[in-house]
Amino acid sequence: MRNFILISLLIPALLAINSCSTIQSDKVYRNGVVVSSDKIASEIGVNALKGGGNAIDAACATALALAVTYPQAGNIGGGGFALIYLADSQKVYYLDFRETAPAAATTDMYIKADGEVDHQRALWGPSSAGTPGTVAGLYELNRRFGSKAWRDNVQPARLLADTGFFISAPLADKLVEYSEELHTYPATAAIFFPGGKAPQAGDRLLQSDLGSTLIAVETDGRDGFYLGETAQRIVDYCADNGGLISMDDLASYFPVWREPVVFGYRNLDIHCAGLPSSGGIVMGQILKMLEQFELERYTPEAPQYMHLFAEASRRAYADRSQYPGDPDFTEDLTEGLLDRAYIASRVESIDPNQATPSADILPGLPRGHGESDQTTHLVTADAAGNIVSLTYTINRTFGSKAVVPGCGFLLNNEMDDFSAAPGVPNSFGLIGGEANKIEGGKRMLSSMSPTIIFQSGQPYMALGSPGGSKIITAVAQTIINYHLFDLTIGEAVSVPRFHHQWLPDKLYLEQGGYDINTIQKLISMGHDVQERSRYSEVMAVGFSPDGAFMIGAADPRQPGGHVSGF
């Protein structure tokens, strides 16, 4: 790619710019890179690399630090997915540490007497929480592939909680925005509003209870969270406040190694999260449908390209509403959904010039054929060529809003990602069916899409994003921007985005991102266009063809996003 040829000639100049200027530019590194939603966390990840750790150690250290500095999404009370590429074996591994429904959960647990869904119970407090998977997932990553001791990766986060950190402007703004909801829970308010007042940017935030929890995790590993005092506090709080998480749920929770979804797109080999994430399936469907069109004739803001992308998305999200779910509970139809003949049948119904009403698009795969915006994503890579692409979440911003007393962390509200009732949208507007109904021990469907891409057998790009249902389209558009439209990686994550998810039948455009001519053309093609605030924060790393250097990019939509490396 010509971008790498140009940048390789300008490495010294780019490094000088990065060290002394606020000018936005792609960040180029030779020895290691960490891209995350927070500067402190990214720097802690790089310190892990500099201290002899590999990309897996850096990912664990970064994720644990985000649990301290980025509480709106960073967590030890949620769960997620990770893709790991090991250069020695040239193999991609996929770890599922998604939360699970408590054993006592039932299909109709959020249905009120009048038959309506009780969204309050599904989104607020312990009643909305699934059994957390983050600590078990990070511990398993470290156990299997890390080169540093577990305690070495936990200690920086624990010290950060104990000694405090200076609150960033984005976090201060979020605390003000969610002040009313967070004040609903005394333990939450006590941590984030000391003295009853919202902290300002630059104030120091101490989290001693979280520090105590991290001491247990540092000392006893997985057992420090899922057994003993921490676990008992979680269970007691849930029992007293309508939650269902039990000691058995915690003790029996373990992450699962699964096979990633792998598909070809033009001359790329794309590895992405598989079930119980829908990310790999839906992204694969979108890109494979679009492969039938000459998109390179367009630009990222061309209405013809936006129309084709929206039509492919419309069909892929229709399938998402019906077929994907936890593969331990429902039939895995990944192969059929990505089958060449099936993709071709979906493409046949796309009119290149006119939108198809979503009412006319149904899930198309015959049976037996063979999510908040406040998720967060990080990418790490080391000099040996190892890569981690990791997305984790507590679902909505600040999750359930409920901090476990004495533990210092927020519980997730991931139970809302199940289908509370067939055909009823969740808080992201996504429709679900039988495959994603609530069952005890089941993992709820997700849109998280950690991705690692190869070209000619060599690492090409690693990326992912928060954004609920918009994660998949944000990641897919970034891939197209970088690969087909030949943007730099910084440009690829920065340009305006658009989104269609079948239902509601609307084409969402980022506010202020598109001119009136583009909007009018899309309307004339039959799209119900609606502007919305900027969304998703893609974190990405690109790799030179010879593996000599890495280019990191943090999405400017996340003011605290940061690239660190050396």
Per-residue pLDDT of 88-146, as tens digits, reads 999 999 999 999 999 999 999 999 999 899 999 999 999 999 999 999 999 999 999 99
The sign of the torsion formed by the CA atoms of 284, 289, 294, 295 equals negative
- Give per-residue pLDDT as tens, 70-89: 999 999 999 999 999 999 99
Any idea of the CA torsion for 427, 377, 337, 266, to the nearest 10 degrees? 140
Q: Is the pLDDT higher at 17 or at 487?
A: 487
pTM: 0.94
8 A C-beta contact, residue 492 and residue 482: yes
Question: CA-to-CA distance for 353 and 525, rounded, in angstroms?
Answer: 6
Of the residues 375, 376, 393, 478, only one is catalytic, namely 375
- Mean pLDDT, rounded, for 430-435: 74
Q: What domains appear along the chain, each with residue ranges and CATH number?
A: 24-257+376-414 (no CATH), 261-373+448-565 (3.60.20.40)
DSSP string, 212-238: HHHHHHHHHTTHHHHSHHHHHHHHHHH
- Mean pLDDT, rounded, for 432-459: 95
The answer on pLDDT for 21 being more than 60 is no
pLDDT at residue 434 in the model = 86
Q: Starting at the edge strand that comes first in sequence, how are the strands of the sheet with 387-393 ordered?
A: 256-258, 91-97, 79-86, 387-393, 375-382, 32-36, 562-565
The alpha carbons of the chain give a radius of gyration, in whole angstroms, of 22
Q: If pLDDT is split at 50, 70 and 90, which confidence band does 433 have?
A: confident
pLDDT at residue 8 in the model = 41
pLDDT at residue 18 in the model = 33
Kindly report the average pLDDT of the chain as a whole number: 93
DSSP string, 394-409: -SSTTTTS-BPTTT--
- Give per-residue pLDDT as tens, 293-308: 999 999 999 999 999 9
**Which amino acid is it at 211?**
G
- Give per-residue pLDDT as tens, 543-563: 999 999 999 999 999 999 999
Per the listing, tokens 């969304």 go with 535
The answer on pLDDT for 421 being more than 90 is no
pLDDT at residue 503 in the model = 94
- Give per-residue pLDDT as tens, 43-79: 999 999 999 999 999 999 999 999 999 999 999 999 9
Per the listing, tokens 């109904």 go with 437
Give every CB contact of residue 541 below 8 A, 6+ residues apart in sequence.
33, 35, 379, 381, 387, 461, 462, 463, 489, 550, 551, 552, 553
- pLDDT > 70 in the chain, percent: 92
Q: If pLDDT is split at 50, 70 and 90, which confidence band does 6 have?
A: very low
Question: CA-to-CA distance for 566 and 564, rounded, in angstroms?
Answer: 7
The answer on pLDDT for 367 being more than 70 is no
The answer on pLDDT for 189 being more than 90 is yes
The answer on pLDDT for 16 being more than 50 is no
Residue 270, both tokens: 């794309």
Per the listing, tokens 């940048």 go with 7
8 A C-beta contact, residue 487 and residue 473: no
- Give per-residue pLDDT as tens, 190-206: 999 999 999 999 999 99
Specify the DSSP class assigned to residue 365: P
Active site residue 375: yes
